[in-house]
């Protein structure tokens, strides 16, 4: 069973999607459509940058959507690819829903541009931050956030991305994250929990806002109006949604979960486990980079009885590799 994955913010890089544009007319048409829809030259943004422009949230999100949808449509023209299930990481969920025909490409472009603007404006610069926490179980990270809020007096601090077992990103008050990095050690955590804890490692993330936490509620309220104005249709294939790590065929429910995703945690590890348990064994990451297939390898360690294959779409050679899978009768 095939699954489709769509990456999120952090996977962007200058030059992304260039080979699609140069080799495939359908990709060129999508770039033109995106540029006309948002009155912005996406060929220049994606291929030339500068990186500082591409990193702006309001630019990053539509650019990622564009490249992911372009790669999905190009492959669909070359091979009879029909995923049974898909998922997208954060902003990637919009690409998954476009691929599944739930929302139109134009409407999704406008929505993610607005999403990027609202998320950036929700919190004054410097007040929020995000930090990767390595080496702790999911439930321990949840307890850690509660302890830091209590002991530091700064809030909020909440799990934002459950990326893999042992890798959780937390989001919230910059002061709470600074306190955590300066004060939380293994012995301290073990004492506070009353049981052995892992050895935590903290890696601050270079982000412009504290995404996927309660500080994003203003953006969520604004996006509710935007998404409620878009017609959501029945999905062509199931999309496992970030907020609940579950699927729904009800367009209204899909919309509700997409709205809640803005301030809710991305349950990515749980989404991937859901896909594996549903029988998905072959994955294609549609978009720039290899972030999600890298996470999948770590998540798959939790399912040792299942053999998985994963593929990327970053070059013509990658496309040829996938084409060979279909010619070999493995679809």
Three-state secondary structure call for residue 129: strand
Active site residue 238: no
**306 DSSP assignment:** -
- The helix or strand, by DSSP H or E, that contains position 178, with its residue range, turns out to be helix 174-183
Distance CA 329, CA 305 (A): 23
- Which residue is catalytic, options 212, 238, 263, 310? 212
- Which residue is catalytic, options 71, 90, 100, 171? 90
> Hey, which residues does 241 pair with through a beta bridge?
246
Active site residue 315: no
Cβ–Cβ under 8 Å, residues 129 and 207: yes
SS3 per-residue string spanning 180-197? HHHHCCHHHHHHHHCCCC
CA dihedral over 17, 18, 22, 28, signed as positive or negative: positive
Distance CA 220, CA 149 (A): 23
- Work out the end-to-end distance of the chain between its first and last CA atoms, rounded to an integer number of angstroms: 8
The residues annotated with a catalytic role in the active site are: 90, 212
């Amino acid at each position: 069973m095939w699954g489709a994955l769509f990456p999120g913010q952090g996977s962007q890089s200058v030059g992304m999607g260039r080979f699609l544009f140069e080799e495939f007319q359908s990709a060129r048409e999508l770039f033109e459509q995106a540029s006309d829809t948002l009155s912005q030259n996406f060929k220049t943004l994606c291929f030339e940058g500068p990186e500082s422009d591409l990193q702006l949230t309001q630019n990053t999100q539509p650019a990622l959507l564009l490249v992911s949808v372009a790669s999905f449509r190009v492959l669909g023209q070359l091979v009879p690819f029909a995923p049974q299930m898909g998922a997208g990481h954060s902003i990637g969920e919009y690409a998954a829903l476009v691929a599944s025909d739930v929302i139109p490409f134009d409407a999704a472009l406008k929505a993610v541009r607005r999403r990027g603007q609202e998320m950036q404006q929700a919190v004054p610069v410097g007040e929020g931050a995000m930090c990767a926490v390595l080496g702790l179980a999911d439930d321990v990270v949840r307890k850690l956030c509660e302890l830091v809020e209590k002991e530091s007096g700064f809030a909020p601090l909440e799990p934002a991305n459950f990326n893999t077992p042992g890798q959780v990103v937390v989001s919230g008050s910059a002061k709470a994250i600074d306190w955590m990095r300066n004060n939380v050690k293994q012995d301290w955590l073990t004492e506070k929990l009353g049981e052995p804890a892992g050895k935590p490692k903290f890696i601050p993330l270079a982000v412009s806002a504290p995404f996927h936490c309660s500080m994003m509620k203003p953006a969520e309220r604004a996006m509710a109006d935007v998404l409620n104005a878009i017609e959501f249709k029945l999905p062509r294939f199931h999309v496992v949604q970030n907020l609940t790590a579950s699927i729904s065929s009800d367009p209204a429910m899909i919309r509700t979960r997409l709205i809640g995703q803005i301030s809710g945690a991305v349950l990515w590890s749980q989404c991937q486990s859901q896909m594996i348990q549903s029988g998905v064994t072959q994955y294609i990451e549609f978009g720039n980079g290899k972030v999600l297939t890298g996470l999948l390898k770590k998540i798959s360690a939790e399912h040792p009885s299942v053999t998985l294959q994963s593929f990327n779409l970053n070059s013509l050679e990658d496309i040829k590799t996938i084409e060979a899978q279909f010619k070999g009768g493995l679809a």
